[in-house]
Every structure is written in C-alpha cells, then in structure tokens.
A and B are shown apart, each in its own frame.
Chain A
Amino acid sequence: MSASEAAVAQPVSTELPLRTQPNDSTFDIVATYRDLLASDPDLTKPVAAIESLIALLNTVPSTTVYETLDTVKTHSDLLKASVENPLPLQAGTDLFLQYLVASLKQQDGSFDAVRQHLLRNGRLFATRAIAARNGIAEAGWRFVREGKCVLTHGASRSVTGLLERAAKNSEGKFRVVYVRDEVRAEESDRVVKELRSKGIPVAEIPEAAVAHVMGLLRQVHMVFTGAEAVTQNGGIISRIGTYQIAKLAAQAKIPFYVAAETHKFVRKFPLDQRDIGYKQEVLDFSATEPSKQPKDAVDYTPPELISNLVTENGVHLPGYVFEQLLDIYGSLNG
C-alpha cells in the first residue's frame, strides 16, 4: 500500500526502472503508458495498458499475492484517472487483473510462475494484439465483394486493415465512401490517402451528407466502423458520429458492421448516451464565446443497430460479447 501511495505522490521517473531498484516507488504508470502509445503506433489502448501493468510488475518486487493484486488495482485506477475516456483502458486492466486472479487460483499459489510468464512475454502480448487485427481482416474481408460499396468514418486500423485485405483480393473492384471529419482534417486526409494508395476508389463526403448518400438507392451496401470499446451488451463506444451513422444505416436497412478486437470487450453496460462511463461535455452554451468541443469525443451505439461484430475469432452477433465476458469473469458486476 505504502509503495503505491508514494507512487501517487511523486510520479517522477519516466523511463522503465530496472529490477535493480527493488521497492522503488517512483514507477510512473501514466508516463509508461503514454510512452508505449507514442512509441508504437500499432498499439491499442487496452494493450498499452496491459503492457504498462507488466512494466509495473517488473519494478515491484514479488511479495505476496494480495499485495501484488493491490498494486495492480491501484495503478489501474491511477491509469484510468489519467485519461479522459477510461473505458478502453478498463478493458485492458480488467482483463489483466482477471487473468492474474484466474491463474493464481489454478496454480495453487505458484505465483512466481505466473509472474515470470507475464514478465517474459510482455512483447508477445503486443504482437498477439496486432495479430488480432490481421485476424479481423481475415475474418471480415469477404463481406467486401466485387461491386460493393463500403461507407466508413474515423481512423480505425481494424477497418483500414480489413479494406486493404479486401483490396488485395479484388483490387479496384469495390469502392469506399469516407465520411470526412473536418475537425480532424489531417487524419481524414491520411486515411483517404492510405486507402487510395491501395488502389481503392474513395469518395469523400462531409458528415452532413451521410443521410443523403445512404438514401441514394443501392449506392452504399454496408457500413464498417471500428470501436474504442465494445460494451457487454454488444454495443460500442466509438468516435462521435458513429451513433448517427448507425441510426441512418438502420433506417436505410444497410448492414452496420463493427470491426473490433476481443480485447476491447469491457464490462460496462451503458444505458443511454448519458452513460458512457465518464463526463463528457458536448454541450457548451455561451452567449458570447464560441462553444468548446471536447477532444476525442465518443458516443454510444446500442447493439440493436449493429448487424455483426467482426472479431479475430470470426463474425459474431452482438450477444457474443456477453458470452465471452461471462466466460472469463464469471459475473458481470464490474
């Protein structure tokens, strides 16, 4: 306990401390997390969180099981508190903690073995997570057949990966409608450029044109989006604008597919838009000044609007999330 409290008090060191500093309380999990995300553009938030926790285990000496679990918990909370939207991180930290608990139960306390496994294979988990993205592409590219037209927005790497995989098979034979986000013009340019470099014909449209474009009969055949986190009811927390696209797609009876890795599944049951797990002020009323918009705003898309989840384990109905979470957590009281 004292170690973790001290860590709260003085987050100084930004580099990975070595094991030669036992009982060192200067481990800064937030900085580690940010470094990891910055250093590897392929890393997703949940996996970066897991990697940070492994780095944490590396610094604290192996004491008792309880103390270790406690340290992990405290640092998870610390990490979640440090970011605006804690849900993606929660997916990672919960999974890690549950894995620890489950392994320890099984091992009759051979705690060191579990620890050693985690410490040694830190990089392996990251590679696996990236392999999961390729798995999504493999599982879902067949949706994108010749002559189809896919509408997408945001910059999900799973979605671009899937489209690139499809392009490998039928280059130039399907088309993409990309919904531009003018607030993030740079990012939109990058994604569009990336897709075009793979020989995919892309039409860029502003967000305001989505309903019109979907109303052009048989011009858009499906919508693909990524997700920040997949909630336990099968809904998604994703870049703001996803919800309205999903609604419009449902209205136009266009299938709405979500490409997300299973490590983004999180124990959270949002009831509506107000309940996305943290405070997000989209409404900023002012009589004088221009309204402020939150950075990285998200919205919640309920499972009724989602046709299928495309995960590395195959194509599933939204109910799949619930089954998987129940399978490892045993209960769903986050």
Chain B
Amino acid sequence: MPSVSTGHALDLEKFLKSLKGQPLEASVNSLISLLKRRQIKGSEPCAIATAHILLQVVARSKWHDVDSLLINVSRTGRKLVDAQPNELVIGNIVRRVLGLIRDEASEDRGDTADESASEAPTPTDIVPPTSISQQWTTKRFESANTAAPPVRPPIVSSYSSINPPKSLFHLLSTSPPANGDVSPFKTSGASTPTWRGNSGQIHALRSEVIDGIEEIKDEISQVDDQIAASAEVQIHPGDLVLVHQPSTTVERFILRAAQKRKFTVLIAMAPPRRHSAENQHATFRKKLSAAGITVVNVMNGGLMAYMSRVNKVIIGARAIVATGGVVADAGSAAIARAAKEQGTAVVVLSGVYKLSPESPFDESSLIEWGDSSTFVSFADGPMVCGAEIRTALTELIPPELVDTYITNLGTHSRDHLSSLISDHYKREDADFHIWEEALS
C-alpha cells in the first residue's frame, strides 16, 4: 500500500504548509475534518499534526496566564480526540504538552511556593486533595447529565490543589505544607501556579513551551532510528523473523539488522485484495534482497504452519494501552497467539509517544473498522445489499501474548510500562478527554 500512504503523507504536508497562512480556528477545523475523513491517519502523522497544531495554539491563541493556556490546549485537544478517538496518540501528545506547560510553569514559579505555603490554612480547613478532585469530577458528571453548556468550569482551584497521590505516604502526608513539617515524599511543585504573570513571564513561558513542543516533534521524527538501534541485539544471524504488514518502523528495524546480519524474513500480508495485491511491500522487499536477505512472502492466514520454525515475531504497534495491550493491524493478534502457542518470542516496536495512559475499559472502542469495498464491490450486486461485510483494520493484542516492548528508550517488559507512563504523563491530565465525553 505504498501509494496510499504517500497520499496521506501529502495530506499531512499540505496541512502543515497551510498552518502559516490560516487563522488558528481554521487550522484546527481543517485538521479535525482531515482526521474525521481519515485523510490524516496512522499514529505518526496524527502525532505530528497534533504537535503542530498545539504549537500554534500555544503561539497564537490568547492567554494571559497558565490556566487559560491549559484550558486552550486541552479544549483543542479534546476536539481532536473526539474527531478520531481511535487514534490514541492524539490524546498522548495533548497530555505531553499539558504536562510540559505545568512543568515549565512550576519552574517559573520558583520561590512563590513558599509564600503560598506560609498562609496555609489551619488544620481544620485542610481538605484532603483527593476529595476535592472527587467532588469536582462527580459534580462535572452531574452537570453533564443535566446537559449543561459545554463550558469548562474553572479548573484553577481544583488543579492547583490536586497533588497527585503517588506514594503510599499520601495517606499520612501533610496535604498543603501546613505548619512547616513537610513530608519528604510529598511531590511538591506539581500543582498549577497561581501567578497572574506579567507579560515578560508569559513571553518566557511561551517560548519555553514552544521549545518543548519542538522537542516532542524531534522525538517523534527520531523514534524509528532509535528503535532500529536495538535491532542488532534482537535479531541474530540465521534467525527466521516474521513480520506482519511491516510499518516503516518495522522496515527500518529489519533493514538496520540487515546491515550486519544474515537472516530470513517472512512477510505476512493481508489476504490478497482486489486490484492491489501484487504491490504490497515491493520496495521493502527490494531493499532487503539488495542487502542479501532472503525474503519470503506469506500470503494466506496459515501462519501456524510456519510458526514452529520462526524465531521471532515482530509487530509494529499503532498504540499501546496502559495494561500492555497493543493496538496493531488486524491479523496481528492471531499471529501473536500462534507464536505464543509455539513459544516464539513476540516483539512489539513502538515509539514512547504511542504509549497511552488509558486503560482499555472498552476494547471494542479501540478497534477501527475499515471500508469493505476491498472485498466486495458494486460488481457483486446481490452481495452489496444482501450481506453485511465488516473489516476490522486494527485489533487489540492481549498483553499476555507480548514478550518484549521495544521503544525509543530501550527494551521493556510489561511491568515497566507503568513507570514509563508516569514518567511521561501527569496524572491530572490523564482523563482530560473523558470530561469531554461526559459533556457531549
């Protein structure tokens, strides 16, 4: 499907070019419709587009303090997530940017923290932070039920008092640093500062956040390279490696290994569809044979027959959910299961930006349904009106079938994912899209 993907790349490019000339609102709306029409799709293009549009929001929207900036970013973010809820990366990037803003803002705040601490309330006034957030969320849901206008209630008070309960000591810790005795484990500085900044501070914050978003963009562009760096460790000479509908990440990974090692690649493909069957992954195959790698195409679903000889299955993820489940191209789960059955290692490649802090509360909502015209066309008259034909483009690989996750930060086991998540996202941002869900 190379032709298709270049088409999408064009759409993304066109969109990125259009950013400069357009007013912000128009850019957001055009991205929303591009996402809805699936003209920008796939995790990497979606992530890049999201990062770009959020950069525009930071640079061009009106905001006079941190809270209004947070509101702007999360409001745009929620629109994008709503436009394409299947693409978890959009939410991930929005969360990253929100976390970035909080970090920069709390750095700027610096000393002011102590002042606010000194006027801490007397113990009787101390309300546990969790209960505030609790009341607050339930209130939000209630208001959602009564179809309140979709205006965010001021997040200021609640955010600034949320101190994400992380350590077990949270139960006993001092909630606001009252009367001077601060728990050593209190995660201070995580709350939103309350300063109404002067223009200088705002300017500094703006440029810092923009730098941060640029870094995120760089990270996204380098992911494939960094993942490929661990290829030589994973693939050994003489291995029989099975890949399923290789994404660019997987292609780069295999090609990097091909520079030093001699091994065999099995490419499992989607069952031949009308028209475009012969073209699949042709360039990838050419490059591999140029490197002296034996390539075998497997066209049918009978992968179990090969599995006993395969050493490694490599799957490119579209997204990884918090439990370790992997959203990947349809067909991968069957391969992973077959591999598990035979004791073959299943390796998932994914950039950290694809790792979502969301739990798969509802698996079916993660699956993307595609268009069935590749299987049935209007030439098959009776089929068109007589049968319902569905084709899933993605599916969720259960976490127990995956052995190793390779990200741009290295190789991880399933249990390690949670610490990656807490490193990259702030707890208070984890649910930003759900508020929207409740409101709509």
User: B418 near A131 (CB under 8 angstroms)?
Assistant: no
Q: Which residues of A contact B126 (CB under 8 A)?
A: 121, 124
With A124-B126, A168-B141 as given contacts, are A317 and B171 in contact (CB-CB < 8 Å)?
Answer: no
CA separation between A125 and B126, bound complex, in Å? 11
User: A327 near B130 (CB under 8 angstroms)?
Assistant: no
Interface core residue of A103, A145, A327 (most chain B CB under 10 Å): A103
Interface flag for B276 (CB, 8 Å): no
Interface flag for B238 (CB, 8 Å): no
Interface flag for B271 (CB, 8 Å): no
Interface flag for A319 (CB, 8 Å): yes
Contact of A315 among B175, B178, B322, B417 (CB under 8 A): B322
- Does more than half of chain A's interface fall in helix, strand or loop, or is it mixed? helix
User: B167 near A118 (CB under 8 angstroms)?
Assistant: no
With A95-B171, A95-B172, A113-B179 as given contacts, are A312 and B165 in contact (CB-CB < 8 Å)?
Answer: yes
User: B128 near A323 (CB under 8 angstroms)?
Assistant: no
The residues in B between 403 and 424 inclusive whose CB is less than 8 angstroms from any CB of A are 414-415, 417-419
Interface flag for B297 (CB, 8 Å): no
Q: On chain B, which size bracket covers the interface?
A: 35 or more
User: A124 near B175 (CB under 8 angstroms)?
Assistant: yes
Q: Which residues of A contact B172 (CB under 8 A)?
A: 50, 95-96, 99, 118, 125
Digitize A90-113: 1 where CB-to-B-CB distance is under 8 Å, 0 elsewhere. Answer: 000001101100110111001001
Interface flag for A34 (CB, 8 Å): no
Give chain B nearest CB distance to A215 CB in angstroms.
Answer: 20
CA separation between A98 and B430, bound complex, in Å? 30
Select from chain B the residue with minimum beta-carbon distance to A262.
B168
The residues in A between 129 and 155 inclusive whose CB is less than 8 angstroms from any CB of B are 129, 131-132, 134-135, 138, 142-143, 145
With A106-B184, A120-B123, A317-B323 as given contacts, are A325 and B168 in contact (CB-CB < 8 Å)?
Answer: yes
Q: Which residues of B contact A129 (CB under 8 A)?
A: 171
Q: Which residues of B contact A293 (CB under 8 A)?
A: none
Select from chain A the residue with minimum beta-carbon distance to B178.
A117
With A103-B183, A168-B141, A308-B323 as given contacts, are A324 and B168 in contact (CB-CB < 8 Å)?
Answer: yes
Interface core residue of A128, A145, A168, A316 (most chain B CB under 10 Å): A128
Given A113-B180, A317-B415, A328-B169, 5 extra CB contacts under 8 A? A95-B171, A128-B170, A138-B137, A314-B359, A314-B427
Can you sample 14 A-B contacts with CB below 8 Å? A95-B168, A98-B169, A99-B183, A102-B169, A102-B184, A105-B184, A125-B171, A127-B128, A132-B130, A135-B134, A135-B165, A307-B323, A315-B359, A327-B167
Question: 4 shortest A-B CB distances, which residue pairs?
Answer: A319-B415, A113-B181, A106-B184, A142-B361
Q: What is the interface of chain B, defined by CB distance below 8 A to chain A?
A: 123, 126, 128, 130-131, 134, 137-138, 141, 164-175, 178-185, 322-324, 359, 361-362, 414-415, 417-419, 427, 430, 434
